[in-house]
């Protein structure tokens, strides 16, 4: 909520009345903050950029060579760069370890450098290594030495790691090759000692016995089907006559027709059976008998006609009966074949069971030996594949074709300190100076118990008869104005100097800092001389 105009006017009158106190306190606070900031030693920051370059060969030989992933390298980089061994190596290169009187001070120095060193990751492949110190040259040299040492040691470590891995894999390959050869020799000797039974596969025998048992079950089912079929055919045969009677009214004219019919039946039987089949022989005999009747003399025919003046009857084979008999014979043959097959399978099962019983105890030992041999072979093949990958990885590291670290921007000599932030200190000094001056005026006015306004007397319940105005002496007024002018001029000039210091910092100049550095050095020397003199 903004202050009313009357309140503002009241505070302005208060400041004007005690203007000397306001100016002195304000300038004092400004001086302490602004010039005190120049006495604080400045810290300079040097930084270097490292970029991780991934070679295109990594994608081409993916799965052939083994290279660390980018995530693993990022995780290791920060810890390695801030490690005690690396920082100690850098301190020795810069001869900073000689400044430590003993190991305790050296450890303290290493810890201090670890705290001041910062490693930041940007875009997953860019690292910014920075370091702050009062000496800009030390900051620059330390960062550059740290980065170079890390890059060199990283390349060396990767090559040593590749050579070490390849050497180790070669030793393991030779070791397991020797064990594999020994296992093979043991198996060969064992086979020679145990004979043929060792080569028999127990599982295959069991599977064969199961297959033969299944075949016997199928044979039984088929045999039952055939027996049922045979019973059915026998019932049908009982209802049929073996021969049928053909009545021929004109035997001489119809003999050719009968011969043709029998010949057709004979041809049908010859399709399925041989010439020695009983049915075929019988039909041939009937056909021959008919042909003989046709070759009789006319006299015989006449005499035969006189004797048999009526129709003639001839007996022929019943085709339905003949077909059922043939099918019955086929079923009988198949039943006999199935019985023979079942008997043979039974013999084979007994033979396999006998072989299974006579497999020696050494078969289990052979299986254990083969399992051990296969285990060695599996390890050997994997090591051989890894050895090939290791050789490719080693060649990549030697040729520097793997993922590498490259210094993108080395550290340069910093000229402007990063702390303290003197621009912010000057602004803070001006703000707190005015605030402190107003606070001093307000406090002083609060402690003043004199009556300053007519209203104060009225508030006490007293009647105000008259107000005597303040009397001014012209000479004193001139003297006071002159004094005010001098104080305002000096204060304004001093305030302009503070503003000029702010502009000086905005421009990045170091003149004021140099002056205060010299003053600080002079003070340190004076204090040292006094200490030497009196202590």
Mean pLDDT for all residues in the chain: 77
For 16-75, write each residue's pLDDT tens digit: 888 999 999 999 999 999 998 888 887 888 989 888 765 443 443 444 444 455 556 666
User: What is the rounded CA–CA span in Å between residue 371 and residue 205?
Assistant: 21
CATH class of 44-174+394-409: alpha beta
Q: How far apart are the first and last CA of the chain?
A: 61
User: What is the rounded CA–CA span in Å between residue 103 and residue 99?
Assistant: 11
Cis previous bond, 46, omega within 30: no
* Structure-model confidence comparison of residues 58 and 415, the more confident one: 415
DSSP code of residue 510: -
What pLDDT score does 399 carry? 45
For 215-263, write each residue's pLDDT tens digit: 999 999 988 888 888 888 888 777 666 655 444 444 455 567 777 777 7
User: What is the rounded CA–CA span in Å between residue 279 and residue 292?
Assistant: 20
What pLDDT score does 66 carry? 47
Residues β-bridged to residue 41: none
pLDDT at 447 over 90: no
DSSP code of residue 59: H
Q: Where are the domains of the chain?
A: 5-40+420-534, 44-174+394-409, 205-357
Best CA proximity match to 42, nearest among 517, 511, 521, 504: 517
pLDDT at 124 over 70: no
User: What is the rounded CA–CA span in Å between residue 415 and residue 45?
Assistant: 9
């Amino acid at each position: 909520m903004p202050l009313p105009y009357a309140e503002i006017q009241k505070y302005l009158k208060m400041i004007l009345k005690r203007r000397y106190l306001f100016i002195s306190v304000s300038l004092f606070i400004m001086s302490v903050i602004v010039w005190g900031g120049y006495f604080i030693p400045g810290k300079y920051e040097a930084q270097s950029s490292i970029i991780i370059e991934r070679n295109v060969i990594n994608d081409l030989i993916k799965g052939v060579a083994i290279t660390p992933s980018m995530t693993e390298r990022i995780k290791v980089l920060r810890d390695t760069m801030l490690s005690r061994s690396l920082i100690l190596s850098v301190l020795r290169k810069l001869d900073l370890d000689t400044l430590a009187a003993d190991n305790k001070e050296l450890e303290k120095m290493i810890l201090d450098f670890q705290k001041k060193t910062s490693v930041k990751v940007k875009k997953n492949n860019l690292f910014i290594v920075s370091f702050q110190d009062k000496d800009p040259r030390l900051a620059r040299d330390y960062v550059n030495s740290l980065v170079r040492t890390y890059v060199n040691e990283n390349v060396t470590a990767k090559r040593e790691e590749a050579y070490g891995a390849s050497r180790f894999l070669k030793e393991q390959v030779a070791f397991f090759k020797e064990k594999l050869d020994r296992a093979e020799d043991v198996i060969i000797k064992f086979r020679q000692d145990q004979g043929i039974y060792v080569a028999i596969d127990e599982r295959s025998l069991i599977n064969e016995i199961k297959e033969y048992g299944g075949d016997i079950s199928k044979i039984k089912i088929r045999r039952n089907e055939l027996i049922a079929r045979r019973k059915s055919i026998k019932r049908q045969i009982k209802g049929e006559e073996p021969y049928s009677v053909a009545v021929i009214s004109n035997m001489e004219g119809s003999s050719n027709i009968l011969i043709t019919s029998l010949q057709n039946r004979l041809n049908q039987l010859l399709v399925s059976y041989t010439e020695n089949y009983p049915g075929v022989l019988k039909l041939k005999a009937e056909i021959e008998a008919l042909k003989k009747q046709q070759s009789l003399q006319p006299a015989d025919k006449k005499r035969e006609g006189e004797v048999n003046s009526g129709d003639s009857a001839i007996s022929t084979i019943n085709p339905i009966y003949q077909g059922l008999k043939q099918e019955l014979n086929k079923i009988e043959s198949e039943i006999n074949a199935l019985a023979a097959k079942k008997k043979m399978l039974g013999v084979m099962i007994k033979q396999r069971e006998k072989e299974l019983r006579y497999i020696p105890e050494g078969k289990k030992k052979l299986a254990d030996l083969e399992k051990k041999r296969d285990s060695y072979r599996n390890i050997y093949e994997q090591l051989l594949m890894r050895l090939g990958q290791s050789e490719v990885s080693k060649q990549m590291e030697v040729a520097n074709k793997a993922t590498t670290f490259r210094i993108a921007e080395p550290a340069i000599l910093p000229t402007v300190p990063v702390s303290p932030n003197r621009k912010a200190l000057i602004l803070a000094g001006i703000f707190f100076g005015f605030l402190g001056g107003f606070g001093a005026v307000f406090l002083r006015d609060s402690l003043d118990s004199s009556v300053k306004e007519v209203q104060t007397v009225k508030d006490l319940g007293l009647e105000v008869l008259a107000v005597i105005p303040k009397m001014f002496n012209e000479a004193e007024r001139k003297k006071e104005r002159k004094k005010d002018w001098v104080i305002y001029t000096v204060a304004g000039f001093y305030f302009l100097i503070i503003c000029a210091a702010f502009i000086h910092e905005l421009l990045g100049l170091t003149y004021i800092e140099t002056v205060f550095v010299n003053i600080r050095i002079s003070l340190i020397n004076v204090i040292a001389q006094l200490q030497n003199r009196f202590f």
